[in-house]
Amino acid sequence: MAAASPFSQKNYLIAAKPNTLDFNLNTATPSCTIVLQNISKQRIAWRLQTNSPTRYFISPSCGFLTVNECFPVTISLVSSKRFHERHRFMLTAAVAGEMSKNRKEFWAHPIDFSHLHCVRITPLCAETCKSPVVSPSSVVSPTASTAVSPSGTTTAVSPTMGGAPSSDGRATSPKASAENTKASAESVDQSTTTGSTSSRLDTSGIVNEIRVLVAAKEEMELDKVAATSRQAKIQYAKVMEMLHPQMNTPEDPVIHSPPSLRAPVLGSPTSIAAALHNSPLNPGYGQSPIGCDGENRTSCESPGSAGDGATDAEGRRRQKTCRVCGDHATGYNFNVITCESCKAFFRRNALRPKEFKCPYSEDCDINSVSRRFCQKCRLRKCFSVGMKKEWILNEEQLRRRKNSRLNNMQNQQRVRDHHRQDFQMPDGSMKSLSSPVSVLTSPTGMTLHSPPSRHMMPPIVSPPSVGPSSAFSLLSPTDSSNSDSPPGQNRGGPLGALGHHGSEGYDSALLLQQRLAASRLSQSLGSPQSMLQAAGLQQAAAAAAAAAANRGVSIDPLRNRVMMSIDDYHNLMQMAATSSAVSPLSGLNGDQGSPDYKPNVFSPPMNLSSPLNGMNGLDLGAAQQSVKHEFDEKLKSYLDGAINDELNGSPDLTAVFGNGTRKEEDITQGDRLSYQLNTAELRALDNVREAFSGMDEPLDSGRQRDSFMKTEKSPTDIMNIMDITMRRLVKMAKKLPAFNELSNEGKFALLKGGMVEMLTVRGVTRFDSASNSWKTPVVPSQYTVPVSMFDQLNTDCKDIQKNRFMQFVGALNEELRKNELAISLIMLIVLFSQRENVNSPSDRMLIDKHNRDYSTLLFRYLESLYGEDARKFQEVLPRALGLLHVISDHSITLFMGTVKTEEAEPLPREFFKTD
C-alpha cells in the first residue's frame, strides 16, 4: 500500500467470495451463493447485476452493508441450458449515508461517482472449469461454451416463466427487486474477511478485480439498464466487457482505473474511450494478450509460453498472439499473424468503400475486448500492422473458387452415382466408360499410356477425379447420396432462414451452361464424348462432358493447361482428319500470328464452342479457311506450351502480361471448355485492374477540380476536366508491362492515337443515361457534366459528334458499360491498336499481339461472367470500335474557337485544336 498509489483506499468498498460462480450445469436450475462483505470503513449500498437478467434470479439483488458486514447472495440460473460463457455479473457498491434506507431509491438517485466501486464476478461452468487454468482470452474453455450453448434459439426466458424453484420466492431480476431488506441482520464472518486494502490486494481469491469506474449516468442506473435504456445497455455491456481481460486467472491482481479516468464528462464517449485507451486492461502476466506494437514483425509471442519446451507445431502456434488485438492468433492471415476474429473482420471490412467513423477520439486502443467498440481504429490497426487487402480474393477468384468447389462436389457425386450404377450392371465393360477417366481415352486408339507427348503424362496418370480404387470406397454404406447437399441447411432459429445464399443459383446456372457448352462442343467437333453419345451411351457421355466441363477447375495452372491440351489434341486430330492436314510443326516457331490475322478487329482467337456459327465478321465462305486457321493457331500454341513446359518445368504464369513472354499461350491455352478463368487469366485481369486503379482517385485540388466544380462549365472547363483523365490514362499505360515493351516512339504513338478513343470509352462508363450527364468519382457526385456541353462546342461538328457519341453509348450493352473491368479491357484493346505513326516492326508486332491478348482476355472474362452469352457482348464490339474510330477522327476540331487557350491545360490541347 504505497503512499504513492494514485488510488485512494476509500474506493475499495466491497468484496465478494468466491469471485466466480461455479454453476453445476448437471442440475436443472443451477444456483450459486456468494458472500459479500463491506470492506470499507463506511456503510455502503450494493447491487448485483447481470448482462443477462432474463436468465438469472439474484436474491437479493441489492442492499446495504455496515462496516465489515457480510451477506450471502444467491444467484440462480433459470435453466442449465441457459448458461452462456459471456454472462457477466457486476457488483457495484457506493458509500451510503446512515440515513439511506430504501435501497431501490438509493440506486435511483445520482451517486458520488468517485465512491463507486465495481467488482466483476465471473460465471463458470462446473463441468469444464474445475481447474483455475483458463485460456488466454476467456474464462471459459471453448468446450464449455459448446456444451452449454443453447441450440437454435435466442429467445430470452422471462423471469416469470422460469419458475426457478430455488429462488425461495424472493427471486427477482435485478430490476424487480424483492422487498427483502434484512441484509443488515446478517452476522459478520470475521474469518473470511480482511479489513485492510493491502491484504485485499494479496488475497486474490476474494476479489477478482476492482475498478473505480467513472461512468455515465446510465451506468449508474444499471438496474434500469438491463431492461430499459438501450444506450445504457451498451454502456453497461461495455463496462462489463472492459473488465473482461482482467479475469483471465483467479490470480488476477486488483486493478483500478487511473485517476485520469475520473475527470471526463459522464456518459460521453470519451470516458469510455479513455478507459479503453488507457486502462490497464492487459495485466502483462500469464498468457494474457498484449499488443506487440512497436515491433517490426508481423507476429509476436506471448512471454509466458515461450520456453515451455513444446516443440511441436501446436505448441508454437499456441504462442502466437494477434498483432491487431493481442488475442490468441491462429496463424498468418493476410500477411499478419492474427486471431480468427481479426481475420474475419479484415476480410469483411478492408475493401469496404466507406470509411468507418470512430465514436471516440480516433486513437482507440485495440485489444481483444475493445476491438469491437471501434471499427475504424480496428481497421486502421489492421493496416498498420501490415495486413494486406490485396490478399483478399477478388471477384473472379471467388467465383472461381466457388465454382471449383461446386464442380468438385458434383464430380464426386457423379463418380459415386456412376459407380453405383456400374455395380448394378452385369456387363463389366461399362465400368471403364462410366469412369471420368474414360474421357481421356482417345477414339483414335490412343491409350492412356501413349499420350501424344510426355507433356501429357502427369494429368493422365493422375486424373482429377478419383480412380477406380478410391471410387470403390465411396460405395461404403456410410456414403449417402445426400451427403453433398448444400451446407446452408435450415436452421432451427428464426434467423436461420435468413440466409445469404443468393449467389449460389447463379453458380449453378453457370455450371449448367458449362456443361451444355461442353456437350455442344463435343458434338460439333466429334470429340470422344460425342462418339460415346453416338454409341448411345448417353450417361457415359454426360459424365465425360461434365468432366470436360470440369477440367480447369483446378487452381493448378499446369494441370489446367495440360488437361485442355488433351482435348485440344483430340479436336485437332478430328479437324485434321476432315480438313486438309497441316504439318503439326508448321506453326512451331512463328509467334507473329497467322496471315489471316486482322488487327483491331475483335474476334476471340479461340472461338471454339461453335466454330461454324460464331465467326463474326466472316462470311460463311471463309468458315472452312477459318477452321484451318484455327487449327494452325491451336496446334501452334499447344506445341508452344508443351515446349515451354518442357523447358521451364512449369509454366511461368507471372509472365502473363508481366514480362512480355508467353502471354497468349497462357491465356488461350486455358480452359476453353470451361468458362472459368484460369490462373493466368485471373492474374492478367488483376494486372489490368491494378493499372486502372488510379483512374478514379478523388481530386483534391487544382485547376481541373475547379473546372469540375463550376455549375456552368465552359468548353475550357471541359478540356481541363479531360486533362485529368488523360493524365491518368498515361499513368495507367505506364503501369502496363505490355505497354512498356514498346519503344518510346511506339508508346507515344499509341497514346497520341488512342487517347480520344479511350477518353470516349471512359466517357461512356461515366455517362448516366437517365440524367444525360457524366458523373465521376473523382469529384463529389453532385458535380456532373451535362451532355448539353456539346452545344457550346464548334458548331461545325458538335451535333454530329454528339450523335456519334450517343450512338456509341447505345452500341455498348448497358451491362457492359457498367462493368468497369470489361471497359478497362476495351480501353486496352483500343490502346493497343495500330496507329499511323508506329513505324518499328517490332512495335507493330507487339501491338498486334497485345491487342489479341486483351481481346481474348475480354472475351474470356465475359465468358466467365455470362457463359455463352458473352458472344452477345462480343458481337456489339466491332461496331462500337468502328464508331469510336470515327468519333476520334472527327474530334480534332471539336473545341476549335471555343476555348481560351491560355486557361486550358496543355495536354488536351495536344488532341484538340483550339484556334
Partner DNA sequence: AGTTCACTAGTGACCGCT
Partner DNA sequence: AAGCGGTCACTAGTGAAC
Residues 6+ apart with CB under 8 A from 269: 359, 360
Residue 325 Cβ, how far from Zn ion at the closest point, in Å?
A: 3
Rounded to an integer, what distance in angstroms lies between the CA atom of residue 660 and that of residue 654? 10
| Per CB under 5 A, 374 contacts Zn ion | yes
706, three cell numbers: 475547379
CB 547 within 8 A of CB 465: yes
Alpha-carbon Rg for the chain in angstroms: 36
309 DSSP 8-state letter: -
Query: Between residues 291 and 604, which has the closer beta carbon with respect to DNA?
Result: 291
Residue 375 interacts with, from Zn ion, DNA, none (CB under 5-8 Å by kind): DNA
Residue 395 Cβ, how far from DNA at the closest point, in Å?
A: 10
Site string for DNA, 202-231 (x = CB under 7 A): -------------------------xx-x-
Interface with DNA: number of residues (CB under 7 A):
71
Residue 306 interacts with, from DNA, Zn ion, none (CB under 5-8 Å by kind): none
Task: Give the range of 498-506, 650-658, 686-694, 871-879 binding DNA by CB under 7 A.
Answer: 498-506
Residue 263 interacts with, from DNA, Zn ion, none (CB under 5-8 Å by kind): none
| Per CB under 5 A, 377 contacts Zn ion | yes
Phi/psi for 554 (5° steps) reads -65, 145
Residue 463 Cβ, how far from DNA at the closest point, in Å?
A: 15
* Amino acid symbol at 458: P
| Per CB under 7 A, 491 contacts DNA | yes
DSSP alpha helices (H): ranges in 35-117?
Answer: 103-108
Phi/psi for 525 (5° steps) reads -105, 0
C-alpha atoms less than 13 angstroms from C-alpha of 915 in its C-beta half-sphere:
6
300: enclosing H helix or E strand: strand 300-301
21: closest CA among 178, 101, 126? 126
- Residues from 23 through 82 that contact Zn ion (CB under 5 A): none
CB 443 within 8 A of CB 535: no
Among 133, 265, 393, 457, binds DNA (CB under 7 A): 393
Residues 6+ apart with CB under 8 A from 200: 12, 15, 39, 194, 206, 207, 210, 254
| Per CB under 7 A, 408 contacts DNA | yes
Residue 666 Cβ, how far from DNA at the closest point, in Å?
A: 18
Residue 322 interacts with, from Zn ion, DNA, none (CB under 5-8 Å by kind): Zn ion
- Residues from 288 through 327 that contact Zn ion (CB under 5 A): 322, 324-325, 327
| Per CB under 5 A, 365 contacts Zn ion | no
Residue 229 Cβ, how far from Zn ion at the closest point, in Å?
A: 23
Among 46, 64, 89, 345, binds DNA (CB under 7 A): 345
- Residues from 526 through 555 that contact DNA (CB under 7 A): 553-555
CB 856 within 8 A of CB 634: no
- Residues from 91 through 150 that contact DNA (CB under 7 A): 137-138, 142, 145-146, 149-150
Phi/psi for 35 (5° steps) reads -110, 125
Residue 358 interacts with, from DNA, Zn ion, none (CB under 5-8 Å by kind): Zn ion
Residue 208 Cβ, how far from DNA at the closest point, in Å?
A: 20
- Residues from 142 through 201 that contact DNA (CB under 7 A): 142, 145-146, 149-154, 158
Per-residue DSSP letters for 264-291?
A: SPTTSHHHHHHHHHHS-----STT----
901: closest CA among 912, 888, 889? 912
| Per CB under 7 A, 297 contacts DNA | no
Residue 145 interacts with, from Zn ion, DNA, none (CB under 5-8 Å by kind): DNA
Among 101, 182, 405, 731, binds DNA (CB under 7 A): 405
Residue 408 interacts with, from DNA, Zn ion, none (CB under 5-8 Å by kind): DNA
C-alpha atoms less than 13 angstroms from C-alpha of 212 in its C-beta half-sphere:
21
Residue 364 interacts with, from DNA, Zn ion, none (CB under 5-8 Å by kind): Zn ion
Give the pairing of strands 20-23 and 117-125.
parallel
30, three cell numbers: 443451477
3-state secondary structure of 332: strand
Q: Please report the sign of the dihedral spanned by the C-alpha atoms of residue 232, residue 234, residue 237, residue 240.
A: negative
Residue 324 interacts with, from Zn ion, DNA, none (CB under 5-8 Å by kind): Zn ion
Query: Between residues 168 and 363, which has the closer beta carbon with respect to DNA?
Result: 363
Among 41, 217, 303, 332, binds DNA (CB under 7 A): 332
Place of cell 481447474: 131
| Per CB under 7 A, 620 contacts DNA | no
| Per CB under 7 A, 493 contacts DNA | yes
| Per CB under 7 A, 51 contacts DNA | yes
Among 358, 385, 785, 870, binds Zn ion (CB under 5 A): 358
Task: Give the range of 182-190, 490-498, 727-735, 829-837 binding DNA by CB under 7 A.
Answer: 490-498
| Per CB under 7 A, 622 contacts DNA | no
Residue 386 Cβ, how far from DNA at the closest point, in Å?
A: 12
Among 498, 583, 621, 782, binds DNA (CB under 7 A): 498
| Per CB under 7 A, 560 contacts DNA | no
What distance separates the 2 farthest-apart alpha carbons in the chain?
111
640: closest CA among 663, 612, 606, 610? 663
Among 348, 710, 731, 818, binds DNA (CB under 7 A): 348
Distances (CA, A) of 767 to 808, 811, 812: 11, 13, 12
Residue 404 Cβ, how far from DNA at the closest point, in Å?
A: 4
- Residues from 237 through 266 that contact DNA (CB under 7 A): 237
Task: Give the range of 260-268, 369-377, 481-489, 505-513 binding Zn ion by CB under 5 A.
Answer: 369-377
| Per CB under 7 A, 488 contacts DNA | yes
| Per CB under 7 A, 410 contacts DNA | no
58: closest CA among 78, 44, 38? 78
| Per CB under 5 A, 13 contacts Zn ion | no
Task: Give the range of 339-347, 452-460, 528-536, 862-870 binding DNA by CB under 7 A.
Answer: 339-347
* Per-residue 3-state assignment (H helix, E strand, C coil) for 667-730: HHCCCCCCCCCCHHHHHHHHHHHHHHHHCCCCCCCCHHHHHHHCCCCCHHHHHHHHHHHHHHHH
Neighbours of 590 (CB within 10 A): 12
| Per CB under 7 A, 233 contacts DNA | yes
Residue 51 interacts with, from Zn ion, DNA, none (CB under 5-8 Å by kind): DNA
Residue 170 interacts with, from DNA, Zn ion, none (CB under 5-8 Å by kind): none
Residue 559 Cβ, how far from DNA at the closest point, in Å?
A: 10
| Per CB under 7 A, 797 contacts DNA | no
Rounded to an integer, what distance in angstroms lies between the CA atom of residue 841 and that of residue 837? 12
Among 13, 121, 222, 339, binds DNA (CB under 7 A): 339
Residue 86 interacts with, from DNA, Zn ion, none (CB under 5-8 Å by kind): DNA
Residue 598 Cβ, how far from Zn ion at the closest point, in Å?
A: 56
593: closest CA among 557, 640, 560? 640
Rounded to an integer, what distance in angstroms lies between the CA atom of residue 208 and that of residue 139? 12
Rounded to an integer, what distance in angstroms lies between the CA atom of residue 635 and that of residue 442? 17
Q: How buried is 200 (Cβ within 10 angstroms: 0-12 exposed, 13-18 middle, 19+ buried)?
A: buried
- Residues from 412 through 451 that contact DNA (CB under 7 A): none
| Per CB under 7 A, 714 contacts DNA | no
Q: List residues near Zn ion by CB under 5 A.
A: 322, 324-325, 327, 339, 342, 358, 360, 364, 374, 377
